[in-house]
Structure 1
Amino acid sequence: MADSGAVAGRLWDRWLPEQVRRLAAEALPAGEADGRRLAVWLATTHDIGKATPAFACQVEELAHEMRCQGLAMPSHRQLGKDRRLAPHGLAGQQLLAEWLRRSHGWSGSAPMQFAVVVGGHHGVPPARGDARALADYPELLRTPGSAEARWRAVQEELLEACARVAGVDARLAAWRDVRLPQPVQAVLSGLVIVADWIASNPDLFPYFPDARGQFSETRWEAAWRGLALPEPWRAVAPVGSAEELFADRFSLPAGARVRPVQEAAVALARGMARPGLLVVEAPMGEGKTEAALAAV
């Protein structure tokens, strides 16, 4: 989880397009700083649904170790097909939303618009019917009885640690009334998915025991260098006159001249305060295609 958060931070800083960062920033009170915190937090939190009986029961040896620590749970066979009602994405969505309500006073739909990113980190956000079905099987999230409080304590401890590591523990009160638009939810979901895939690569992030205690900037920077992700394309405004631009862009022969409509298109494009639609009308043979390519 910490590895995924670290990767998300680097994707935000070094790979995500400016307009995508701006989209998230505009929805949050502290702008881009909040956007980065939110991205790192959701990536760090994304696998919280694995801290449930429905998930933990799958490997009996590990489940036994957890039972010895007071986290009672049925066996994989005992849970049977019911276990499928709590895939760890949906379980994580429900746990995160519940924690925001219980521990931070969030209400209404506010928790779910953030938690759905956790729910959809395998590509498809859970449907409302999925959440309703899971509500009838609370034992999939916490074993009832004496172990229930222990399960809740562990889940809350993990969520608190995620918030602290991502630097959002002091921001959650400010986000309580935020309306997170669906395009922002989709962008953040995509970022978390990419971060999860990268952080799940054992060549970049070795498993225990060899990597024990190596959750550090050194480990994360080494993994990022090993990933060697290609740099994102960034637009660079060309310099020089229209004549120079066309000669360089289209390898024009010596003596070729830029047509008036082409020069006008370049001048208009350079004068636009922000990206927009520019329509060029001219007779056939005046160079509209080259004008359009140059204007872009």
Structure 2
Amino acid sequence: MHLPDWIKTKASGLHNTKALLRSHGVTTVCEEARCPNKGHCFLKPTATFMILGDNCTRNCGFCSVKSGKPSCVDAEEPERVAKAAYELGLKHVVITSVTRDDLPDGGALQFAKTIRAVKTRLPNAKVEVLTPDFKGDINSLKIVLDERPDVFNHNMETIKRLYSIVRPQADYECSINVLRNAKKIAPDIKTKSGLMLGLGETLDEVVELLRDIRSAGCDFLTVGQYLRPSKKNLSVVEYIRPEIFDEIKKRAIELGFEFVASGPLVRSSMNAEEFLKG
């Protein structure tokens, strides 16, 4: 299936972002997940740091991050991320991770240490975390939120009917409860979620998902087109036209979301700093 004109990206110039990241031995989800906006973001520069290694304990149908036996938790990783963020001069730092079901806390403590390290080096920067579901463990969630990130993000990714196909090792209600519990634990921290279109969902199902996310107290929303990162991943069922993204944004605003980014090339961490500007 060929990409329609409204999805094709233009080549961006080069920046030393990639070399700097390599020099600190840090990983980005921009590269591991083969994000189509990587060239644009690296030019700025900006990057979404991926902690806890590059092997995921889950195998989601949409994701190109490697699935396999994860590495040991690296005690030096939080400081390396902080140094890279400092040298890039970032004002908004986004930290995500692979899913680590092998760890008792799901990797929550490493998130906490990384937030702390970044805030120490960049006290004026905003910090956003995009976490896995921690198997719904509230204590793990609290470990992360106690470090006071400015934004807590957990992506729903898709509608309820498609969860067993798109996210076979995850649970729809568990993910909704992650957002709900995050807001209960820290009501003043902005919460955020994102979803992909083009996997066979209907507009009514998308609106139902928006209602569920908003009912969990979620403040911010991103909606983008699913693009197949490799042949081993799920096929694209449909390329959604821009006017449908506009309609979904309108519906989301009506439901009470404070800020919504909706478009074919929108990704959960792209232009993340704009959400806090309102």
| TM-score, normalised relative to structure 1 | 0.24
Name the structure where helix makes up a greater proportion of residues: 1
Larger radius of gyration: 1
Name the structure where strand makes up a greater proportion of residues: 2
- With a CA cutoff of 8 Å and minimum separation of 6, indicate the structure with the bigger relative contact order: 1
